[in-house]
Amino acid sequence: MLKLFLFFCVMALAVYAHKKLSRRTFWIVAASVTTITLIALKICFHNYEKSFMLSFVPDALHAQSVSYSKEESWGFGPGGNEAGIRTYPLSDSVARDIAKRGMDFFRNMPPNKDQQERRWRGDYGNWAETPVASGEHWRPRQGSGRLHIYDYICRYGFCIDIDPDIVSMANSIVNSAGSYYAYGRIGLIVVSPEHKLVVYMYNG
């Protein structure tokens, strides 16, 4: 209702300005208003996108930014597919706390205050220590005995090109001791205090 009211206000203002202002002044004002509106919309979308990405990380990890993101979607709805990976930096204090407390940090992690709004995002259970255990949906590559993140992210045949440095680091984290991981309704989150990094990857 408010959006409709604002729309009619803008339209009424535009009609009024068109009648009262010279044609040149009107178009200058119209161009300025359009530019400001587009900039505002871009800022709003950026803030929403950042907030959405951060909602996948439990609040207890105090993630404030996204350091890397590579994602792709094919189609929409039940028949769509997607694949992606994001990394989030961990602060020194949180990384130290995790390194000190280990699994106790995750067992006693408080729930997210806005979990109902997030639905399933940022909600994880059954935390475990790395190396990530292989299972039905993610098995070590033959000959190496190690998991590879491409085998998880690209499991359904839809793949993305990830920065080689990110691939190397993520592969090292999931195959080495010292980090912690959990599966959510969608995706896998891995927290590495050594690298001061959170890695979230998903397929679907």
Domain closes at, from 53, 72, 91: 53
Whole-angstrom Cα distance, residue 179 to residue 198?
10
Residue 79: both structure tokens together: 């028949």
Whole-angstrom Cα distance, residue 115 to residue 12?
41
pTM equals 0.72
Cβ-proximal residues to 122 (8 Å cutoff; 6+ apart), any chain:
55, 56, 57, 58, 59, 112, 115, 184
Whole-angstrom Cα distance, residue 113 to residue 118?
10
What pLDDT score does 47 carry? 46
Q: Domains in the chain: how many in total?
A: 2
171, 191: one domain:
yes
Whole-angstrom Cα distance, residue 127 to residue 133?
12
71, 98: one domain:
yes
136, 189: one domain:
yes
Range of the domain at 111: 58-203
6, 95: one domain:
no
Whole-angstrom Cα distance, residue 160 to residue 73?
10
192: part of which helix (H) or strand (E)? Answer: strand 188-192
Whole-angstrom Cα distance, residue 108 to residue 12?
56
Q: Nearest Cα to 189, choosing from 94, 49, 72, 53?
A: 53
Dump pLDDT digits (tens) for 140-196. 888 788 999 999 999 888 889 999 999 999 999 999 999 999 998 889 999 999 999
What pLDDT score does 103 carry? 96
101, 142: one domain:
yes
